[in-house]
């Protein structure tokens, strides 16, 4: 009894740890074990079995050989995982790094929410394996980099599949494998099983999965609950603006009759990785069904607006991996444990980070506490319990998330809450935006996110900045006859911190009593946007045509000084003119307001190129309220100032800019508009 207790203690000097599976969980475990052993001044033999990385020699070798195959993963590196890599001094070389994500968009049934990646955080994308086809050298993969790091620290790599595991007479795990045409065994002081959940087993051919191997030591083990995903790789144009900008898209609602709970589009070098989860994927029974889901998804208008317009993406590969959505039963036993997806994972987000955290904690337990069942239950058990607790909060978060984003009304309220906070508060005080950042980036624990979502301050923001303004704006749209049918909905709100810089740029720093600023990004050339702006004031313009408001050019040439456009509101009860002034810059179109309540104010269009085929349009309106020249006039204008609904400008120009963007992006160079219902093919 004393001998067994002693043997189940912490790893002795020159002990052997066998790791079945060289994916992130296995490689991270090897790295942490070897680093801890070095810190404790102990020798430790770590052997990794990875069939995708064959060794050229029959004996264990540090010559890794090429990585073959694909672990079927989207390949996102979250900010917290990037921090963990930095702590381990693992840098991603250029041939592994695919893109740096600079912007996250969250698309529901209203407008997308834009989240800039903070300067002190990094989100990256990688390929974990050798696919997709035609993607350059096989070794340039994240999993191979981690294995190389482990081998560089002293781990041994056996490029073979383990066929059987058993306990010897002293209750040490023994692993059986084939190498160099001969059957071999390895006796280990501890065996970790990190083969993932997507391995295919063939028991009759002697090819059990990692889960099957672990059951040979721990018969009570049951893998975690799984859910099917659909991952597709699309090749995009090499000069694609969207790829260059590194925008990660989350689409949080179903479309085209599809039942989808979660969708993402991850940018990579020349590729987009599309990941889908939902009822339609669960029910797909064949490759043909999967292809139909991808085609229907790509054909939806909101996805056509996300992917590049220059050329239709081409499908390179498609797969149906399983993702972990539960917790394994009995994931550790005497001198053995499951780690990574075989044990559990973080719900829907950041599985690689979850594998790292489990591997780090398991390494600390077996080096410093012990390898026996009691030691693992005391040291490793709490780590798994934390995942279980956090994932319970995740269930609440994603239920609310889907509920809000699949409803057009609730989705609009959520977007409006986000936009109201963005326009009125500094970045450091935007608690609502931080909630979205935490969910989308994986930068916060689910428990922290759930508590932030349910705070009274958050609920008040949703009511005041979201529900109330949505109702007010909706009634205004109804009054002015603004119809969103067939019109793409895009963000136009400008954050509060950008207002001073824009004021200096366009107004030389002068302040006015009333200011409003809107920007929209357009997938069209600067020249095309200018041609469309020339229609401002023309009867045939495809934007800014509200009921009760007549906007007509009365004299002059469009986009030239002296061009005069007259506003007549409610049949002429209110009227004024805007006259174009010389700006000295062809991309700055400045109008002076003459007459009415905004007499002397400025109305400015600013066009800015972002790429050869992309630009941004900013609208700036600023004026001082008219005072009147007589006591009666002053009284009337004072009353008007108190009663004037300033938000009307937001409503009218928000709708007009979305119409402008859609018209600029859809209009052909000949000036013809696409026929109603005409769609662009996106997959061939």
Identify whether residues 335 and 315 lie together within a single domain. no
pLDDT at 140: 72
Q: CATH number for the domain including 166?
A: 3.50.50.60
- Kindly give the pairing relationship between strand 15-20 and strand 44-49: parallel
Identify whether residues 69 and 10 lie together within a single domain. yes
pLDDT at 503: 83
Residue 671 lies in a domain: no
The yes-or-no verdict on residue 204 having pLDDT over 70 is: no
Identify whether residues 375 and 500 lie together within a single domain. no
**pTM of the prediction?**
0.88
Residue 487 lies in a domain: no
pLDDT, one tens digit per residue, over 24-34 is 999 999 999 99
pLDDT at 134: 57
Least reliable range by pLDDT among 171-175, 198-202, 258-262, 372-376: 198-202
pLDDT, one tens digit per residue, over 402-456 is 889 889 999 999 999 999 999 988 888 899 999 999 999 999 999 999 999 999 9
pLDDT at 501: 86
pLDDT at 457: 94
Residue 366, helix vs strand vs coil: helix
The yes-or-no verdict on residue 678 having pLDDT over 90 is: no
pLDDT at 658: 96
Residue 204 lies in a domain: yes
Residue pair 352/24 in contact by the 8 Å Cβ criterion: yes
Please state, in angstroms and rounded to a whole number, the distance separating the CA atoms of residues 195 and 208.
Answer: 11
- How confident is the model over 572-585, as a mean pLDDT? 90
Identify whether residues 217 and 250 lie together within a single domain. no
Residue 501 lies in a domain: yes
Residue 248 lies in a domain: yes
pLDDT at 643: 65
User: Cα separations (Å) of 276 from 229, 257, 285, 341, 408?
Assistant: 6, 14, 15, 19, 21
- Kindly give the pairing relationship between strand 103-107 and strand 247-251: parallel
The yes-or-no verdict on residue 62 having pLDDT over 70 is: no
Element (H, E) at 249: strand 247-251
Structural domain ending residue among the three candidates 426, 451, 480: 480
Query: What token pair was written down for 372?
Result: 């026996």
Q: Which residues contact 89 (CB under 8 A, 6 or more apart)?
A: none
pLDDT at 497: 87
pLDDT confidence tier of residue 306, bands split at 50, 70 and 90: confident
Paired residues of 268 in beta bridges: 271
Identify whether residues 56 and 189 lie together within a single domain. yes
pLDDT, one tens digit per residue, over 155-164 is 999 988 999 9
Residue 37 lies in a domain: yes
Backbone angles phi, psi at 94, to 5 degrees: -60, -35
Identify whether residues 270 and 145 lie together within a single domain. no
Query: What token pair was written down for 434?
Result: 């931080």
Residue 88 lies in a domain: no
Query: What token pair was written down for 369?
Result: 């506490």
Question: First and final CA of the chain: distance in angstroms?
Answer: 68
Identify whether residues 60 and 170 lie together within a single domain. yes
Residue 521, helix vs strand vs coil: strand
Backbone angles phi, psi at 115, to 5 degrees: -125, 110
Q: CATH number for the domain including 590?
A: 3.30.530.20
Please state, in angstroms and rounded to a whole number, the distance separating the CA atoms of residues 106 and 252.
Answer: 7
- Using CA of residue 231, residue 437, residue 413, residue 463, what is the dihedral sign? positive
The yes-or-no verdict on residue 671 having pLDDT over 80 is: no
How much of the chain, in percent, has pLDDT values that exceed 90?
62
Please state, in angstroms and rounded to a whole number, the distance separating the CA atoms of residues 212 and 178.
Answer: 18
Identify whether residues 131 and 60 lie together within a single domain. yes
What is the four-CA torsion angle of 248, 252, 256, 258, rounded to 10 degrees? 110
Print burial letters for 258-279: b (CB count within 10 Å at least 16), e (below 16).
Answer: bebbbbbbbbbbbbbbbbbbbe
The yes-or-no verdict on residue 683 having pLDDT over 50 is: no
Whole domain around residue 249: which residue ranges?
Answer: 230-320
Residue pair 117/387 in contact by the 8 Å Cβ criterion: no
* Residue in this structure with the two tokens 């600079």, named with its chain if needed: 102
Identify whether residues 414 and 473 lie together within a single domain. yes
Please state, in angstroms and rounded to a whole number, the distance separating the CA atoms of residues 226 and 223.
Answer: 8
Ramachandran area for residue 165 (φ above 0: left; ψ -120 to 50: alpha; else beta):
beta
Rg (C-alpha) for the chain, rounded Å, is 30
pLDDT at 136: 55
Please state, in angstroms and rounded to a whole number, the distance separating the CA atoms of residues 123 and 445.
Answer: 17
Query: What token pair was written down for 153?
Result: 């620290």
- How confident is the model over 537-543, as a mean pLDDT? 94
pLDDT, one tens digit per residue, over 110-124 is 999 999 999 999 999
Please state, in angstroms and rounded to a whole number, the distance separating the CA atoms of residues 566 and 591.
Answer: 12
- How confident is the model over 615-631, as a mean pLDDT? 86
The yes-or-no verdict on residue 636 having pLDDT over 80 is: no
Number of domains in the chain: 4
Q: CATH number for the domain including 311?
A: 3.30.70
Please state, in angstroms and rounded to a whole number, the distance separating the CA atoms of residues 467 and 460.
Answer: 10
**Highest mean pLDDT, choosing among 109-123, 248-262, 507-521:** 109-123
The yes-or-no verdict on residue 229 having pLDDT over 90 is: yes
Residue pair 489/656 in contact by the 8 Å Cβ criterion: no
Identify whether residues 53 and 202 lie together within a single domain. yes
Identify whether residues 64 and 190 lie together within a single domain. yes
Residue 280 lies in a domain: yes
Least reliable range by pLDDT among 292-301, 620-629, 653-662: 620-629
Identify whether residues 205 and 67 lie together within a single domain. yes
Please state, in angstroms and rounded to a whole number, the distance separating the CA atoms of residues 322 and 646.
Answer: 52
How much of the chain, in percent, has pLDDT values that exceed 70?
90
**Highest mean pLDDT, choosing among 200-214, 439-453, 618-632:** 439-453
The yes-or-no verdict on residue 672 having pLDDT over 70 is: no
pLDDT at 241: 79
The yes-or-no verdict on residue 232 having pLDDT over 80 is: yes
**Which stretches does DSSP call E strand in 305-379?**
314-319, 322-324, 332-333, 336-338
pLDDT at 206: 62
Q: What is the average pLDDT score of the chain?
A: 87
């Amino acid at each position: 009894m004393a001998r067994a207790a002693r043997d189940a203690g912490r790893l002795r000097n020159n002990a052997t740890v066998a790791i079945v599976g060289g994916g992130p969980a296995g490689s991270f475990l090897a790295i942490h074990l070897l680093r801890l052993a070095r810190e404790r001044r102990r020798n430790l033999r770590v052997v990794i079995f990875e069939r995708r990385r064959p060794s050229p020699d029959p004996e264990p070798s540090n010559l890794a050989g090429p990585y073959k195959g694909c672990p079927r993963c989207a390949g996102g590196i979250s900010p917290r995982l990037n921090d963990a890599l930095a702590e381990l001094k693992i840098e991603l070389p250029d041939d592994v790094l695919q893109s740096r994500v600079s912007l996250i968009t969250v698309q529901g049934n209203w407008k997308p929410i834009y989240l800039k990646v903070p300067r002190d955080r990094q989100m990256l994308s990688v390929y974990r394996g050798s696919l997709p086809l035609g993607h350059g050298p096989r070794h340039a993969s994240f999993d191979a980099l981690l294995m190389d790091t482990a081998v560089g620290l002293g781990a041994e790599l056996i490029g073979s599949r383990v066929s059987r595991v058993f306990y010897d007479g002293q209750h040490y795990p023994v692993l059986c494998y084939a190498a160099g045409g001969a059957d071999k065994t390895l006796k280990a002081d501890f065996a970790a099983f990190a083969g993932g959940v997507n391995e295919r087993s063939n028991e009759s051919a002697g090819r059990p999965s990692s889960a099957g191997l672990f059951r040979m030591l721990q018969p009570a083990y049951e893998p975690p609950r799984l859910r099917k995903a659909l991952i597709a790789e699309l090749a995009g144009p090499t000069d694609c603006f969207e790829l260059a900008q590194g925008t990660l898209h989350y689409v949080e609602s179903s479309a085209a009759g599809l039942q989808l709970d979660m969708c993402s589009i991850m940018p990579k070098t020349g590729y987009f990785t599309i990941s889908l989860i939902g009822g339609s994927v669960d029910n797909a029974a064949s490759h043909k069904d999967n292809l139909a889901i991808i085609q229907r998804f790509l054909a939806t208008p909101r996805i056509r607006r996300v992917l590049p317009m220059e050329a239709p993406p081409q499908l390179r590969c498609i797969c149906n991996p399983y993702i972990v959505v539960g917790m394994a039963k009995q994931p550790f036993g005497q001198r053995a444990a499951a780690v990574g997806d075989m044990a559990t994972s973080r719900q829907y987000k950041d599985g690689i980070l979850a594998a790292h955290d489990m591997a780090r904690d398991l390494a600390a337990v077996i080096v410093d506490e012990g390898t026996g069942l009691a030691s693992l239950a005391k040291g490793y058990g709490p780590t798994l319990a934390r995942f279980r607790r956090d994932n319970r909060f995740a269930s609440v978060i994603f239920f609310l998330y889907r509920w809000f984003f699949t409803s057009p009304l609730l989705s609009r309220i959520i977007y409006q809450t986000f936009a109201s906070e963005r326009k009125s508060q500094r970045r450091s005080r935007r608690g609502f935006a931080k909630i979205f950042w935490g969910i989308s980036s994986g930068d916060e624990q689910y428990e922290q996110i759930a508590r932030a979502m349910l705070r009274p301050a958050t609920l008040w923001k949703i009511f005041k900045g979201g529900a109330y303004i949505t109702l007010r704006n909706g009634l205004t749209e109804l009054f002015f006859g603004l119809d969103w049918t067939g019109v793409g909905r895009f963000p136009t709100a400008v954050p509060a911190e950008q207002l001073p810089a824009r004021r200096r740029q366009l107004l030389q720093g002068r302040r006015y009593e009333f200011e409003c600023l809107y920007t929209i990004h357009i997938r069209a050339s600067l020249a095309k946007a200018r041609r469309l702006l020339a229609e401002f004031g023309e009867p045939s313009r495809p934007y800014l045509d509200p009921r009760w408001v007549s906007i007509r050019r009365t004299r002059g040439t469009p986009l030239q000084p002296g061009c005069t456009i007259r506003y007549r509101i409610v049949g002429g009860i209110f009227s004024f003119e805007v006259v174009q002034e010389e700006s000295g810059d062809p991309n700055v179109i400045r109008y002076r307001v003459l007459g009415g309540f905004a007499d002397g104010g400025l109305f400015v269009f600013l066009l800015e190129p972002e790429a050869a085929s992309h630009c941004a349009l900013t609208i700036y309106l600023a004026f001082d309220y008219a005072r009147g020249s007589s006591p009666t006039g002053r009284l009337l204008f004072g009353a008007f100032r108190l009663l004037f609904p300033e938000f009307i400008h937001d409503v009218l120009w928000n709708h007009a800019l979305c119409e402008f963007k859609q018209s600029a992006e859809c209009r052909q160079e000949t000036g013809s508009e696409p026929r109603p219902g005409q769609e662009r093919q996106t997959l061939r």
